[in-house]
Structure 1
Amino acid sequence: MGANYIFSLEPTFTQGLVLGQLSVIVLLGLILKYIFLESTHNPFDTSGYQTRADNNFTLRAQKPEVQEAVNERQEGDQESAEWFNTLLRQVVDVYRSKLRDDLPSAEGDEIARKRIEDYANKIRPAGFLDHIKIHSVDLGVSAPRLHNARLSSLKSCAPFIEIECDTTYTDTLSISLSTSYLFNYPMSGFARLPVSLTVSLSQFKSSINITPPSPNSLAPVLTFSISPDFTLDLTTTSLMGSRAKLANVPKLHELIQHQVRRILAARGTWKVVLPGLATVSEAREQVQKEMKEEQFS
């Protein structure tokens, strides 16, 4: 009878193989959980998650008038868009000021940081990401610059033309944050993988098409759209892990770059309703109708 049982008091080859495999799995799980993953509820207490944005002080110190004059000389004989760049810069400065509640220095920075943190946690996937902590935000000091404006005919509307111009945006825009990726297997809240990120804008280049409203449209709009072949250069520094940290993982940089490009490509068209001719809701219905017609055509 005793020979029919798999387990006995005397160790066998099968028992040794099973116990060996189990010990390797348990050891691997302990290494992941206690070295790379975070099992506490306060992953932001360590100093590694207080990464500050590395601002470009050279760009900040450079006088805007000097930089604008250099850019203007580089444009050669092209039609000057300096009047529009000046207007655009003032509009961007107003947005920055309102995001800071019109408060200067550190007090305004804290208000902007808190607003961005609240928005980030509002849209985060709660099942995959823990609370997002924004450590610092740099709203930048510059604005996109337009140049090399040119006219081109619309193929769909022969009498009408559209304006195409190039834009370049170089700034100190950056954000530093930390969060944790949640592992909910084999149980909810099994472990966390702390992640610390600092993402900075290096350069953005694209062509912009400005399409005039169609007189045949029920809700005429002025359309601004960026080219799908835009150039986006981001600088990313990262730390992953709890006790043993992985720095500047290339795949993480590629993922962030891809997601930002995808969002810009998906939302790279803005439509401005002409005052007195239509409302925003009417223009939205018209856009949805045109999209459906394009899908069935």
Structure 2
Amino acid sequence: MGNNYIFSLTPTFTQGLVLGQLSILVLLALVLKYLFFIPPESETETITFHPLSKSNPSWHQDVEEDDINGAPEKESAHWFNILARQVVEVYRAKLQNNLTGYEGIEVARRKIEDHANELRPRGFLAIFVHNSRLQQDHITIHSVDLGMSAPKLSNARVVNDSDGDTAPMTIEFDMSYTDTISVSLSTSYLFNYPMSSFARLPVSLTISLSLFESKVTLVPPSPASAAPVLTISLPQDFTLNLKTTSLMGSRAMLRDVPKLHELIEYQVRKVLALRGTWKFVLPGMGSLATAQHDVEKEQAASNEQG
């Protein structure tokens, strides 16, 4: 009867092979059940994963939509404010020849005085000089305050004003600048009528900045441009508060003439409006002459529309 049993105390090779296969199947079933599967009565959220190949055109579209829709409307520009402050500090240091104290301020004063006299009579102090009967004298800078602060940006946001999908989007910031920057100067106007140097009108001014607020618009370069440029511009509806103290005359002096304050602020606004756009050519993407040619074409087109 012992020959009727499949297994015996001394298993054969075939019996050992069958037992080994069965034990592996049982172990695999236990691993799948308790490590990967869940009981049917439990509730859980199923996470699906659909990998996208980068060759799929929808991959770029999904990434752009996530960047636009998922980004907050207002983003902190603290990192840029730190960078801007360092840049302003470098300009202050170079204007003072890396000197500090009175020596540095004196170097900056002389540089500003030389530059102001190079610009006259085209500067804002030459608001009355339009014929040979009135001539502006030498400008003397008595003191300057280069300030201690820097412009601060906030509320970075993406503005899509373009009609087409290929046009670059616009990034806007809110900028605020409050500082102690000021300049004190004196000059005089020579009246050449009815004879040369007939009379001289002394003028002393102190101009200080109270507040400057504006939006800053950043336009990324366009791939269709021959010389792609990064454009930073200021709109013309900025807020500018200047504090001006003035003395006009020799013996009988006129103090703080309102009309003079209005004319000075008008000239400063005019300069900012005319020079409030900066274009930076991308390295290796074109020459400065090509970018200048494109700017002239844009200005001519805007003048024709105006």
TM-score normalised by structure 1 residue count: 0.72
Quote the residue 2:253 is aligned against: 245
Residue of structure 1 aligned with 2:184, choices 171, 176, 180: 176
Quote the residue 2:210 is aligned against: 202
Matched to 1:170, the amino acid is T
Secondary structure of 2:221's partner? coil
Matched to 2:155, the amino acid is N
Matched to 1:272, the amino acid is F
Q: Which runs of 5+ in 2 are unaligned?
A: 1-72, 122-128
Quote the residue 1:15 is aligned against: none
Q: Deviations over 1:216-258 (max 9, x none)?
A: 1111100001111000000000000011111111111111111
Instruction: Give the Cα–Cα distance (whole angstroms) in 2 for the partners of residues 154 and 274 of structure 1.
Output: 23
Residue of structure 2 aligned with 1:110, choices 97, 106, 110: 106
Q: CA deviation at 1:123?
A: 0.9
Alignment of 1:214-225 (within 5 A): 214-225=222-233
Q: Deviations over 1:41-96 (max 9, x none)?
A: xxxxxxxxxxxxxxxxxxxxxxxxxxxxxxxxxxxx94211100000000000000
Contact 2:175 2:213 in 1 (8 A): yes
Q: CA deviation at 1:156?
A: 5.5
Q: 1:157 to 1:185 in 2, by over 3 A?
A: farther
Does residue 88 of structure 1 match 2:95? no
Instruction: Give the Cα–Cα distance (whole angstroms) in 2 for the partners of residues 157 and 213 of structure 1.
Output: 15
Does residue 283 of structure 1 match 2:291? yes
Instruction: Give the Cα–Cα distance (whole angstroms) in 1 for the partners of residues 164 and 276 of structure 2.
Output: 22
Matched to 1:203, the amino acid is L
Instruction: Give the Cα–Cα distance (whole angstroms) in 1 for the partners of residues 164 and 91 of structure 2.
Output: 35
Quote the residue 1:268 is aligned against: 276
Q: CA deviation at 1:157?
A: 4.7
Rg comparison, structure with higher value: 2
Instruction: Give the Cα–Cα distance (whole angstroms) in 1 for the partners of residues 163 and 266 of structure 2.
Output: 32
Matched to 1:88, the amino acid is A
Quote the residue 2:244 is aligned against: 236
Which stretches of structure 1, 4 residues or more, deviate above 4 A after TM superposition?
Answer: none
Quote the residue 2:16 is aligned against: none
Instruction: Give the Cα–Cα distance (whole angstroms) in 2 for the partners of residues 157 and 205 of structure 1.
Output: 31
Residue of structure 2 aligned with 1:143, choices 143, 147, 150: 150
Matched to 1:131, the amino acid is H
Does residue 152 of structure 1 match 2:159? yes
Structural RMSD (CA): 1.5
Secondary structure of 1:128's partner? strand
Instruction: Give the Cα–Cα distance (whole angstroms) in 2 for the partners of residues 294 and 253 of structure 1.
Output: 32
Secondary structure of 1:254's partner? helix
Q: CA deviation at 1:128?
A: 2.1
Q: Which runs of 5+ in 1 are unaligned?
A: 1-76
Instruction: Give the Cα–Cα distance (whole angstroms) in 2 for the partners of residues 290 and 205 of structure 1.
Output: 27
Instruction: Give the Cα–Cα distance (whole angstroms) in 2 for the partners of residues 277 and 296 of structure 1.
Output: 29
Instruction: Give the Cα–Cα distance (whole angstroms) in 1 for the partners of residues 146 and 286 of structure 2.
Output: 34
Secondary structure of 2:184's partner? strand
Secondary structure of 2:193's partner? coil
Contact 2:74 2:157 in 1 (8 A): no
Quote the residue 1:165 is aligned against: 173
Report how many residues are paired: 221
Instruction: Give the Cα–Cα distance (whole angstroms) in 2 for the partners of residues 156 and 213 of structure 1.
Output: 17
Quote the residue 1:226 is aligned against: 234
Instruction: Give the Cα–Cα distance (whole angstroms) in 2 for the partners of residues 156 and 92 of structure 1.
Output: 37
